[in-house]
Structure 1
Amino acid sequence: MTESQSARMASCCPGPGAWRTTGRRHFLQTGIAGFASLSLPQVLKLRSQRTLSASETTAAQRKKTAVIMVWQPGGCSHIDTYDPKQDSGSEYRGPFSTISTKVSGLQFTELLPRQAAIADKFTVLRSMQQTAGGHPAGSMQLLSGDPDTRDKPKPRYPDWMTVANYLRSQAEPRQNPLPAYVGINPPLEYNGPAYLGDAYSPFTVMGDPNSPSFSVPNIGLADTSEVTRLGRRSNLRRNLDTLERAFDQRAELAALDEFEIQAMTLLTNPRTKEAFDLSREDPRTRDRYGRNSWGQQLLLARRLVEAGVEIMTTSLSGALCGRVHNWDDHAVNHHVFDALRFRSAAYDQAVSALIEDIYDRGLDKQVLVVVTGEFGRTPKIEYSPSTGAGDASAPAGTIQPGRDHWPRAFSNIWAGGGIQTGRVIGATDKRGEDVVERICGPGDFLATIYHHLGIDAPSTMIRDFNGRPTPIVDHGKAIPELMG
């Protein structure tokens, strides 16, 4: 990568706080009353019920499986964590020493001692690559399979989380009062439902689960009179819909009923409140994950999949990352090595606790855990002046080391899902610049996740806005070593 390319990447990166997710679906914050005021055009935007093709129906057959995706927004430096290159030279090698892991011959850097100790419980994929150098396009490539290398303001294709939610909801009515898809501070900046519509987006939970004041608004109402009032209002809305329904030849208003039922269930079923209540966990378990936002996010994720949530996403962002609240460790943002030190303890503890808990609680066949970002970081260290002082960043103007975007090679880890663990898949060259063994791309990544969820990615298509059948994965196939 040239210096001009690095400069362009640095200039396009978000500044402090830009990565803080604001959420797109807070339908419960105003209560069920909002549904009563929806017009027909608004309803049509919520969701259009589609008739599934035979292949879609087959693909969407429910299996009692779930996925937790832990997202590293901005991209984690692979050579400073899971793919160290001690012989790469001072221009490339970071300051961290390597440590042995539970798996013979596998080494991590010293930043990950807890994960090293349980490396037999997950598999490291060192040969991921994609072709987009920007955060939006890189995220869209990995999470939706969009091959475009250009950064776009909105996704063209729905992300895998939305697709899985859509297919499973079409295959079988949901009996569990909890939503099938939940995001805890989820990665929504550059991804979303696209042509599937917002009704298949996550139930979004924002905030710090470690905070004493943390709460999920409007779930599990205890006031019976309020529950009765909401039920009456819901029935009134249905009665007022009668005339509109006479013109609803495609049964699109039925989508509102399902959407409303989910909202009512969340509001009135006490099980929903219990599932989100971390105070019900043993304090020692909370300590094990770490009494910080990341630790409690991952504990809540485990708690929710155990209660029946099938698709969980959560971003490790915010103050624990350093000054700019993400993993985008350009020198203008962070002193890359100080940033990695700053966040490594919380990251290592939370991820290792989640993986251990999945196995200890007998969830390792049901639940697949994937930890990844959109790309890696440049193997060659670059130096630029900081744009501001803060955690893991020197005062403005201070020359400090950084690593830029690197989609050509990066690592992610996989646990649970019934896969054989304690393995390494693929390899990069001596500097960590390029994949030299077992190239895996976004299509392979997506097909592997879909396989765990019981979705036959190669043969499954969904109709887009124009009614055209669109493949959910048009290239790639599930990675055999990661198929349970």
Structure 2
Amino acid sequence: MPSASPPIICSGPLDRRGFMRIGLTGFASLSWPGLLKLRAENAVKPTRERTAIILVWLRGGCSHLDTYDPKPDIGSEYRGPFKTIKTKVPGMQLTELLPLQAKIADKFTLLRSMTHTGGGHPAGSLQMLSGDPDPRDKPKPLLPDWMTVANSLRSKNKRSSPLPNYVGVNPIINYDSFTIAGPGFVNAAYSPLAVLSDPSRPDFAVPNVGLSNPSQLARLNDRMALLHSLDKLERNVDAAGEMGAMDQFESQAMTLLTNPQTRHAFDLGKEDKRTRERYGMHRWGQQLLLARRLVESGVEIITSCLDGPQCGRVGNWDDHAVNHNVFEALRFRAGAFDQAVSALIEDVYARGLDKRVLVVVSGEFGRTPKISHVASSGAGEASAAAGVVQPGRDHWPRAFTNLWAGGGLQTGGVIGASDKRGEDVAEHACTPHDFLATIYHHLGIDSAKETINDFSGRPTPIVPNGSPIRELIRM
């Protein structure tokens, strides 16, 4: 009995010579399903689209009970004055402060079971942004934040955009005198391009972006040539790698100055007036509109801190009674917050960005479920005159909520739960390490395997514990 024909091994697309070598006899021995399998195995594999993230940061900590995790049936010691409203998702309720987000609840998921041990603003921020488990406040980070880590790791892959890969639109940097974000032992070149001015102002411009005057460009090129001719520094003694960082800064600065695409990305005047008004003609709305424009222009890591005058007297979400009447402060800022966040999420879906772009809304912690009553330290927006007793809520890291939208994630629901008073996690506790692992997962970074060398050259895990939140991720 003759032996069977040897199998055809196909390791890639066939050229003409390969086709002739196999011959018609070999192909004749294949069934129709076999031909389809052969074609599928040798098809060009599609490249994975580069993902991006926009982190909307509520500096100071948002009250979860008065926004995303209402408890309408608890006593007056805990319950705020706001009514509970239905959302587009059956069973998910928000407070009346967020009617626009309620209408698009199918486009996001609420994680109501975040918890950590950082009771102060610096410690809470460092836990959420860098994974530092230390419950104590410290003046500056010991670990790099996830934004610079991701920027560093992703810089190994070539990009087509002339824009920096990490931009802070009103960036996360400080809390009072404490530094809450930074590169740590990652090269400083991976820090953000910081947009500090107010995008809602008619004269908004980002310094050193997009020179359009030909004579200015010519002078700049002449000066750069002179600088290079005078550069006599010995780079081989640069043990800390600072010259490498300077080179990257210089290259980035030149690109920002000379490439017309960069000027276009920051030009909100290119947007339709109705679009700008939908986000809100205020700082927060235009910050998030700019974030959307940047992500469409190829920026992959964007942070935008919602703070300042729109928060009330003290300029943040830190609604102690000495600072604000917590309920008046939430009323004061809710309209702009609801408008800007809902417009961003709507646009991510309407413009086909929802698989590629992840939007996360969070602060460093929540606020105490039990309402405190303390004398105000001064009059202003959302605060009574000094000495007048008013309600407040204090720091609360034991249970709080953040919002996840887009990113190809599972949306339209709630993950986890706090207890009946919103004091502790009752179901599916998630830590900052889980939070960070989920972000890294979206960015295509395996946080269980990736390490970065610290100042001594020792490999340090980017997330020592924790794993991506499986209920968020489509399997």
Using the size of structure 1 for normalisation, the TM-score is: 0.85
1:409 aligns with 2:385: no
1:148 aligns with 2:138: no
Aligned CA RMSD, in angstroms, stands at 1.5
Q: Which residue of 2 aligns with 1:290?
A: 280
Q: 1:450 to 1:63 in 2, by over 3 A?
A: farther
Q: Give the drift of 1:242.
A: 4.4
Question: Structure 1: which amino acid aligns with 2:254?
Answer: M
Q: 1:65 to 1:269 in 2, by over 3 A?
A: same
CA displacement, residues 448-475 of structure 1 (integer Å, 9 cap, x when unaligned) = 0000000000100000111110110001
* CA–CA distance in structure 2, aligned partners of residues 284 and 106 of structure 1: 30
Contact map agreement 1:62 1:168 (CA 8 A) in 2:
no
CA displacement, residues 282-326 of structure 1 (integer Å, 9 cap, x when unaligned) = 000001101110000000000100010000000110111000000
Q: 2:160 aligns with which of 166, 175, 182?
A: 175
Q: Which residue of 1 aligns with 2:53?
A: 67
Q: Which residue of 2 aligns with 1:125?
A: 111
Q: Give the drift of 1:250.
A: 8.3
Alignment of 1:227-246 (within 5 A): 227-242=217-232, 244-245=234-235
Contact map agreement 1:383 1:399 (CA 8 A) in 2:
yes
Q: 2:350 aligns with which of 360, 366, 378?
A: 360
Q: Which residue of 2 aligns with 1:476?
A: 466
For residue 287 of structure 1, give the secondary structure of its aligned residue in structure 2.
helix
CA displacement, residues 18-64 of structure 1 (integer Å, 9 cap, x when unaligned) = xxxxxxxxxxxxxxxxxxxxxxxxxxxxxxxxxxxxxxxxxxx9851
Contact map agreement 1:62 1:454 (CA 8 A) in 2:
no
Q: 1:239 to 1:175 in 2, by over 3 A?
A: farther
Q: Which residue of 1 aligns with 2:321?
A: 331
Q: Which residue of 1 aligns with 2:120?
A: 134
Q: Give the drift of 1:208.
A: 1.3
Question: Structure 1: which amino acid aligns with 2:153?
Answer: L
Question: Structure 2: which amino acid aligns with 1:402?
Answer: G
Q: 2:171 aligns with which of 186, 191, 196?
A: 186
Q: Give the drift of 1:175.
A: 3.1
Alignment of 1:66-465 (within 5 A): 66-169=52-155, 171-189=156-174, 190-242=180-232, 244-245=234-235, 247=237, 253-465=243-455
* CA–CA distance in structure 2, aligned partners of residues 203 and 362 of structure 1: 26
Q: 1:286 to 1:244 in 2, by over 3 A?
A: same
Question: Structure 1: which amino acid aligns with 2:168?
Answer: G
Q: Give the drift of 1:174.
A: 3.6
Q: Give the drift of 1:223.
A: 1.7
Q: 1:298 to 1:251 in 2, by over 3 A?
A: closer
* CA–CA distance in structure 1, aligned partners of residues 373 and 251 of structure 2: 55
Identity of aligned residues (%): 68
Q: Which residue of 1 aligns with 2:38?
A: none
For residue 430 of structure 1, give the secondary structure of its aligned residue in structure 2.
coil
Question: Structure 2: which amino acid aligns with 1:419?
Answer: L
Q: 1:387 to 1:250 in 2, by over 3 A?
A: closer
Q: Which has the higher contact order (CA 8 A, sep 6+)?
A: 1
* CA–CA distance in structure 2, aligned partners of residues 444 and 428 of structure 1: 17
For residue 448 of structure 2, give the secondary structure of its aligned residue in structure 1.
helix
Moved more, 222-231 or 139-148: 222-231
* CA–CA distance in structure 2, aligned partners of residues 226 and 126 of structure 1: 53
CA displacement, residues 407-465 of structure 1 (integer Å, 9 cap, x when unaligned) = 00000100000012101000010000000100000000000000000000010000011
For residue 195 of structure 1, give the secondary structure of its aligned residue in structure 2.
coil
CA displacement, residues 375-434 of structure 1 (integer Å, 9 cap, x when unaligned) = 000000000000000000000000000000000000010000001210100001000000
Contact map agreement 2:188 2:245 (CA 8 A) in 1:
no
For residue 482 of structure 1, give the secondary structure of its aligned residue in structure 2.
coil
Q: 1:247 to 1:197 in 2, by over 3 A?
A: closer
* Structure 2: gaps (5+ residues): 1-46, 175-179
Q: 1:421 to 1:224 in 2, by over 3 A?
A: same
CA displacement, residues 148-207 of structure 1 (integer Å, 9 cap, x when unaligned) = 1111111000100010111111x1244311110000111111111111132111000012
Using the size of structure 2 for normalisation, the TM-score is: 0.87
1:467 aligns with 2:453: no
Question: Structure 2: which amino acid aligns with 1:267?
Answer: L
Contact map agreement 2:189 2:248 (CA 8 A) in 1:
no
Q: Give the drift of 1:236.
A: 2.7
Q: Number of aligned residue pairs: give it.
A: 423
Q: Give the drift of 1:230.
A: 1.8
Q: 1:271 to 1:392 in 2, by over 3 A?
A: same
Tell which structure's C-alpha radius of gyration is larger: 2
Q: Give the drift of 1:227.
A: 1.6
CA displacement, residues 312-369 of structure 1 (integer Å, 9 cap, x when unaligned) = 0001101110000000000000000000111101100110000000000000001000
* Structure 1: gaps (5+ residues): 1-60
Contact map agreement 1:98 1:109 (CA 8 A) in 2:
yes
Moved more, 368-377 or 188-197: 188-197
Q: Give the drift of 1:214.
A: 1.3
Q: Give the drift of 1:247.
A: 4.4
